[in-house]
Amino acid sequence: MITWLAWLSLPLACSSTRTVLSRRGPPLNAALVGTGQAVLAYSLLFFIGIILSLAKFL
């Protein structure tokens, strides 16, 4: 369950990756914001997955 939830953040990461690979200069600032959002989404989804996995044992 843990890893499956974290995979839901993949579209955010793909969007930022496309921007980084295809642009130069100021548009990269937007990619940096997108990267931060992808990391936040991944972290929250991973945390939720851990909590749900631990809830099974209670």
Query: How many domains, in total, are found in the chain?
Result: 1
DSSP H or E run through 5: helix 2-6
Query: What does the pLDDT profile of the chain (58 residues) look like in tens digits?
Result: 566 888 889 998 999 999 999 999 998 999 999 999 999 999 999 999 888 888 888 7
Helices (H), ranges, 7-26: 10-22
Claim: this prediction has a pTM higher than 0.95: no
Distance CA(26)–CA(10), nearest Å, equals 24
Per DSSP, 56 falls in state: T
| pLDDT (0 to 100) of residue 1 | 55
Number of Cβ within a 10 Å radius of residue 9: 19
Number of Cβ within a 10 Å radius of residue 53: 12
Instruction: For residue 40, give its domain range.
Output: 2-17+26-55
